[in-house]
Structure 1
């Protein structure tokens, strides 16, 4: 159950939760679906694996590798950042961001958490210590580091000379790409209770679109940080605060003149890019990022159903229900397949046309949390323990 995992691993700063007792006893626990039996139509081939620090361990963190110019860049929560050759997995360079002076944090670990972004010859990564780092992608040297307004758990987004950071206290900040200085700060608002995790922005036509913990999608002017519009995409209901959680933690996707977004305990929606007005919605909540290709949306909902929706109207084209509550990663598209990892370390490969299983392979006993990455003709995924794997079809 994703809600149980999110709260138990990353507790809310505004609420005292003791042992997750608010979820009830064992009788209330949601049971993981058994591993589906799959007759493999092909065997995914492991090309290489490489260890990157200690990974994320049991923490709730969506650290995920990125890919650019024939290199895979990956990081671990303990501060290790590595560049690897995409074909061989061979290490090109390795950097340790541990702050030995204690200047930026009293903690020895930098607690990297915000995903890895590669852009314009640099890597950008945030941390739970409210520090954002810029590294030279050629050799891993630190170009700058900046203290931001809160935990930087979302993936940094680079556009028009700024690095956008969405922090866990509801701030969207724009940092100067060259030196890390803070250009502007927009306050998106925060509810009393929220899930652990934040939406990364999407950028188009001079605006940043980002989800908020209050169930809204926000459009912010990229140059000044001025709010253009806000649109609620969730109508929370229920007897408890838990039932009424409505975070928009998945990252919006912009296609043409539409913004697509999804909320927890809410809906998948299409909004007009200019006005924020609702175009259509489908009741299907999640905190996972989703993938759009052609006229289809591929997503994993909050109960670990994998589904494909029509981009025109949200019609459900297929739904795969055999992985319920297996702690799935967000989906990736790779060579015509929808691929997800699970908490037990399996990769599940589905036909993108109908959702039927075509392959399954056990990869890592530590399990997965972050999404697989399609890197050219390779599928790359990082396990909780820090090992990075590369597969070919």
Structure 2
């Protein structure tokens, strides 16, 4: 008993002595514990405070068309002309809006004085510049019902409207009458927007297969695949095209570049990493469509990564630890994006460092125990010298690209469900209820 007490006493003294020792603080830069495991080239240290940095934007251009998503330089209007105070001038129904099972995923396109839209139930509508319906075309297969599939996208080129649908098809329509010229089955959901380029139509189906299809006949020119992945979000990324290359993003987080005409793969890159402490961060889907600007490809994932890569080699130039919920917009030596945290950010295009970030509508309802539903924010788009974001909270917001300050807010009845597009000094956006709104 005495021996035990003695041992305990000595142990207690040793513990007190250990506690009294002064902790040695190691000198040096602190690095994140997981940095070594996440791969990629880290950007310059993140800036916690927003900065106001001058930016030289491209001059405003009065464009008459908006035919594609913004990834392909040939179709991107760098700074579309738009008035300083756009107001609602007309609205027109396009069909079924968002529901629990179905969603509108196609941004409107504008060509030859018509606005083309795709509703949540695979119906294409052509609307005039004054809001009158010109024609509609239901692309639901004969043996299916409209609510059995959802998603799709639009593009215009070569005198045709190209439409993908959740029913797994790519369809070419006559832009004047809406008549079907041809249809190609994709053997999987076609929820992403196609891209037309010099006689070929490029599309991603099922989040793991790339297609090049002849625009005049619908015949398959070539295919390319990635690893299948089931944890995806609705809407595959739209391919980006240059004269030489086609760049695709997939559901498993891979980006591939191929020679545009023959389909031979040039390089592939995986957007490794995920946003920790967030269950949705495990979804690896490419949600920031590939965007080409000069010799650089910008792309983002749902898992908390935005990267810049060399167009010719796929070499990683920088990595930013934020995801992208839509295509990034490069302009004036900067890159603008909506992150997976529902934040509008401006990054330095050279190294990915943050210049400023602005919080966008996020949780619809938030408590310490539960926060499930979030607002959707679409864009960004550079037009009229401002960065524009449309949200389904019923607002469209205009930001100063210099410092991120909010300069204007415009009401969108029922909230937006697509990114805004601008043509003919008019801004078009589709609402959650299936209404096309025109602001001028």
**Shorter-chain TM-score: what band?**
0.7 to 0.9
Q: Distance in 1 between matches of 2:349 and 2:327?
A: 16
Q: Which residue of 1 aligns with 2:186?
A: 148
Structure 1 segment 185-196 matched on structure 2, within 5 A: 185-196=223-234
Q: Distance in 1 between matches of 2:221 and 2:377?
A: 37
Moved more, 240-249 or 279-288: 240-249
Q: Which residue of 2 aligns with 1:376?
A: 424
Higher RCO structure (Cα 8 Å, ≥6 apart): 2
Structure 1 segment 95-174 matched on structure 2, within 5 A: 95-99=137-141, 101-102=142-143, 106-108=144-146, 111=149, 113-174=151-212
Secondary structure of the 2:378 match is coil
Give 1:379 deviation, angstroms: 0.9
Give 1:43 deviation, angstroms: 5.0
How many residues are aligned here?
A: 346
The answer to whether the 8 A contact 2:207-2:251 is kept is: no
Give 1:166 deviation, angstroms: 0.3
Q: Distance in 2 between matches of 1:286 and 1:111?
A: 25
Give 1:174 deviation, angstroms: 1.4
Evaluate the alpha carbon distance shift between residue 257 and residue 364 of structure 1 in structure 2; reply closer, same or farther with a 3 A threshold.
Answer: same
The answer to whether the 8 A contact 2:208-2:229 is kept is: no
Evaluate the alpha carbon distance shift between residue 134 and residue 203 of structure 1 in structure 2; reply closer, same or farther with a 3 A threshold.
Answer: same
Secondary structure of the 1:89 match is coil
Q: Which runs of 5+ in 1 are unaligned?
A: 1-41
Q: Distance in 2 between matches of 1:240 and 1:77?
A: 29
Match of 1:342 among 381, 388, 391: 391
Match of 2:136 among 94, 113, 135: 94
Larger Rg: 2
Give 1:371 deviation, angstroms: 0.7
Evaluate the alpha carbon distance shift between residue 175 and residue 337 of structure 1 in structure 2; reply closer, same or farther with a 3 A threshold.
Answer: same
Q: Which residue of 1 aligns with 2:405?
A: 356
Q: Does 1:50 align with 2:98?
A: no
Secondary structure of the 1:174 match is strand
Q: Distance in 2 between matches of 1:168 and 1:268?
A: 22
RMSD: 2.3
Cα offsets for 1:260-286 (capped at 9, x unmatched)? 111122322111111101111221112
Q: Does 1:65 align with 2:65?
A: no
Evaluate the alpha carbon distance shift between residue 43 and residue 273 of structure 1 in structure 2; reply closer, same or farther with a 3 A threshold.
Answer: closer
Give 1:242 deviation, angstroms: 4.8
Moved more, 193-202 or 121-130: 193-202
The answer to whether the 8 A contact 1:200-1:250 is kept is: no
Q: Distance in 1 between matches of 2:360 and 2:98?
A: 27
The answer to whether the 8 A contact 1:97-1:110 is kept is: no
Q: Distance in 1 between matches of 2:92 and 2:431?
A: 11
The answer to whether the 8 A contact 1:77-1:110 is kept is: no
Q: Distance in 2 between matches of 1:125 and 1:338?
A: 28
Evaluate the alpha carbon distance shift between residue 135 and residue 222 of structure 1 in structure 2; reply closer, same or farther with a 3 A threshold.
Answer: same
The answer to whether the 8 A contact 1:154-1:166 is kept is: yes
The answer to whether the 8 A contact 2:121-2:147 is kept is: yes
Cα offsets for 1:192-231 (capped at 9, x unmatched)? 5333331111011422111122222111222232221111
Structure 1-normalised TM-score?
0.82
Q: Distance in 1 between matches of 2:384 and 2:231?
A: 40
